[in-house]
């Protein structure tokens, strides 16, 4: 409770004289700053009780320029309370409630000038003029809504038609789906049956193929063993069953740094760091490394990355070097022979895949059954996807009377100096720079977000492309009544938060404007 002293009270007498007892110009007498609806709470014949119920004071304390009530209700006509509310009647225009701090502050806030009563000449009453303008504007809006609501009815009709069609399509698709599923099941049975037969007839081919493969592997192993033993024996010049560094040094391929001689270190690298290698270790460890090097030297094998680097001349030179290193070089051509042999083998095995007439017939039938099954499966998937889309659309909120339904998918563009914006109704909003570059998503259809009494006046598009170092972009679309559907402005009031004004007859509603009018009392 505000503490009041007699001195304070005394200092306010002058103001009491001018403002407390003065009654507002209106049919119903009430203290200054009090609205018609609250007049009954200020009765001069009774003590005044603060609105919050915390105190009851003599009526003479009302508007005495001293704040007695916590809620400021005892000072509606002065600026004594920081939370006081001053009401101006504004006869001829709209009434207004102001923070009472604006009372007698030298600024005319109310069109009737009553907030500046301490200086009666400061403000001119312009309520009639403003009221006239406001009424003309209200009239224009009402007429617009009236004309637009005719178009809105058309949109409602279109919307309902579209939804009915979608519902019919859905029924048809459900039927198609069960038909397609039946076909799919039949095709699956047929496919399984033919695949079983195919498996049966191909078994003998597969087994032959396996055998062939195994035979080839065994042959390769044997050739490799023969080849590696031959090389080992050739290098083992003292026939002691071990290859020493000196014995191996004659093999020029070990000269990895190409300085014209094979160093001990270069050889050791191939011997896994040892001074010598016995036959077993040579076969299992050294030979697998050595063989590709030999082949490379002979120009029969090149690693992927070296293929483009090695010129023919180099390969020839290397070959010659290698020839000089060994005696009995004819035997070294065995690698080349082996490769040619291998190629022929492959051709033979490919050819062996051609089946006899009876088998080929079954393979063809199974392939056809597989193709038909895949088609049937795809058809079911496509129908299911159409059903999902239609269901999604049918669940969308297109307004109280489906007035927005026919606009779903319609796109509208708006250009400013820098960007072209595109709104695709109930889908997405995008932005494209006029200087080129990718389209930027400013949000996907989210929900209606207007106030409780006007839900369909605001659309929200959310989860657009993330803002650099920030949240994802969002767009708020304010939906206004007009005779044509178009975007009238786009702004970005905060970074990556876009605001669009969309006008459309779908938002023209006769009843909403009449509601608006009746909500302003005391005009
Ligand atoms: C782009 C546009 C702008 C946005 C910035 C944020 O330039 O999408 O609208 O403000 O990115 O970095």
Query: Six-digit token pair at 427?
Result: 């889908």
pTM greater than 0.85 (yes/no)? no
* Confidence band for 3, pLDDT divided at 50, 70 and 90: very low
Q: What is the mean pLDDT of residues 463-474?
A: 95
What span, in angstroms and rounded, lies between the C-alpha atoms of 422 and 430?
5
Measure the CA–CA gap between 85 and 70, rounded to whole angstroms.
Answer: 13
Which residue lies with its CA nearest to atom 7 of ligand 1? 433
Q: For ligand 1, pick from 494, 496, 497, 499 the residue to mutate: most ligand atoms within 8 Å of CB.
A: 496
Question: What is the Cα 202 distance to its own chain's centre?
Answer: 50
What token pair was written down for 119?
């200086």
In a domain, 417, yes or no: yes
Residue with tokens 């206004």: 480
CA of 440 to the centre of ligand 1 (A): 9
Pocket test for ligand 1, best of 417, 443, 495, 499 (most atoms within 8 A of CB): 495
How many structural domains compose the chain? 2
- Closest atom of ligand 1 to 492 CA is 9
Nearest CA to ligand 1 atom 4: 496
Based on the fold, state whether residues 289 and 433 are members of the same structural domain: no
In the reported structure, the alpha carbon of residue 502 is separated from the centroid of ligand 1 by a whole-number distance in angstroms of 21
Ligand 1 pocket mutation pick from 430, 442, 467, 469 by most atoms within 8 angstroms of CB: 467
Which of 278, 298, 318 is the C-terminal boundary of a domain?
Answer: 298
Inter-residue contact 468 to 412 (CB < 8 Å): no
Can you give the pLDDT at residue 427? 97
Q: Which of 280, 298, 316 is the last residue of a domain?
A: 298
27 confidence band (pLDDT: 50, 70, 90): low
* Residue 233, phi then psi, degrees to nearest 5: -60, -35
As a residue count, the chain comes to 523
pLDDT at position 305: 53
CA gap 511, 523 in Å, rounded: 20
Domain enclosing residue 420, as ranges: 405-510
More confident of the two residues 413 and 286: 413
Q: Which of 298, 315, 344 is the last residue of a domain?
A: 298
Report yes or no on 464 lying in a domain.
yes
pLDDT > 70: what percent of the chain?
Answer: 82
Which domain CATH number covers 493?
A: 2.70.130.10
Position 350 in a domain = no
- Quick: pLDDT tens for 354-378: 889 999 999 999 999 999 999 999 9
- Which SS3 state, helix, strand or coil, does residue 186 take? helix
CA-proximal residue: ligand 1, atom 9 (nearest): 496
Pocket of ligand 1 (CB under 6 A): 431, 440, 467-468, 492, 495-496
Place 302 in a pLDDT band, splitting at 50, 70 and 90.
Answer: low
Most confident of 308-312, 323-327, 427-431: 427-431
Neighbours of 450 (CB within 10 A): 15
Please report the pLDDT score of residue 12 as a whole number. 44
Asked if the structure places residue 16 within a domain, the reply is no
For residue 352, pLDDT over 50 is answered with no
Residue 331 has pLDDT above 60, yes or no: no
Coil, strand, or helix at residue 357?
A: helix
Q: 182: which 2 tokens?
A: 């039946």
Q: How far apart, in Å, do the first and last CA atoms of the chain sit?
A: 37
Does residue 167 sit in the same domain as residue 290?
yes
């Amino acid at each position: 409770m505000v503490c009041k002293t007699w001195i304070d009270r005394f200092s306010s007498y002058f103001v009491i004289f001018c403002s407390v007892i003065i009654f507002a110009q209106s049919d119903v007498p009430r203290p200054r700053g009090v609205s018609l609806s609250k007049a009954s709470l200020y009765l001069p014949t009774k003590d005044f009780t603060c609105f919050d119920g915390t105190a009851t004071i003599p009526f003479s304390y009302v508007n005495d320029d001293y704040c007695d009530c916590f809620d400021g209700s005892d000072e509606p006509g002065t600026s004594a309370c920081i939370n006081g509310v001053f009401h101006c009647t504004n006869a001829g225009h709209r009434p207004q409630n102001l923070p009472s701090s604006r009372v007698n502050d030298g600024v005319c806030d109310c069109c009737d000038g009553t907030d500046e009563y301490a200086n009666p000449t400061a403000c001119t009453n312009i309520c009639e003029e403003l009221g006239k303008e406001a009424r003309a504007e209200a009239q224009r809006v009402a007429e617009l809504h009236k004309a637009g609501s005719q178009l809105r009815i058309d949109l409602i009709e279109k919307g309902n038609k579209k939804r009915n069609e979608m519902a019919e399509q859905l029924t048809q698709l459900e039927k198609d789906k069960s038909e397609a599923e039946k076909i799919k099941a039949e095709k699956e049975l047929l496919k399984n049956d033919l695949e079983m037969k195919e498996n049966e007839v191909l078994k003998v081919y597969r087994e032959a193929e396996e055998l062939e493969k195994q035979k080839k592997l065994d042959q390769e192993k044997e050739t490799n063993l023969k080849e590696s033993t031959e090389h080992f024996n050739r290098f083992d010049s003292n026939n002691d069953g071990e290859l020493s560094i000196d014995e191996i040094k004659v093999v020029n391929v070990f000269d990895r740094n190409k300085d014209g001689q094979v160093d001990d270190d270069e050889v050791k690298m191939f011997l896994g760091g040892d001074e010598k290698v016995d036959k077993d270790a040579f076969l299992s460890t050294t030979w697998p490394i050595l063989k590709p090097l030999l082949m490379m030297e002979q120009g029969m094998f090149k690693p992927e990355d070296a293929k483009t680097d090695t010129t023919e001349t180099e390969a020839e030179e290397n070959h010659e070097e290698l020839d000089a290193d060994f005696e009995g070089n004819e035997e070294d051509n065995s690698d080349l022979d082996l490769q040619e042999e291998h190629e022929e083998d492959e051709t033979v095995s490919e050819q062996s895949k051609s089946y006899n007439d009876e088998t080929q017939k079954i393979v063809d039938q199974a392939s056809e059954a597989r193709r038909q099954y895949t088609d049937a499966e795809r058809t079911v998937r496509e129908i299911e996807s159409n059903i999902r889309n239609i269901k999604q659309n049918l669940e969308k909120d297109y307004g109280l009377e489906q007035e927005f339904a026919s606009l779903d998918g319609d796109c509208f563009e708006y250009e400013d100096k820098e960007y072209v914006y595109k709104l695709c109704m109930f889908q997405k909003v995008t932005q494209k720079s006029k200087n080129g570059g990718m389209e930027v998503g400013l949000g996907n259809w989210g929900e209606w977000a207007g106030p409780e009494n006007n839900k369909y006046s605001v659309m929200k598009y959310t989860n657009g492309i993330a803002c650099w170092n920030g949240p994802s972009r969002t767009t708020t679309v304010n939906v206004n009544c007009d005779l044509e559907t178009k975007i009238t402005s786009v702004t970005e009031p905060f970074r990556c938060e876009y605001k669009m004004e969309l006008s459309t007859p779908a938002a023209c509603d006769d009843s909403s404007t009449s509601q608006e009018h009746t909500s302003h009392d005391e005009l």
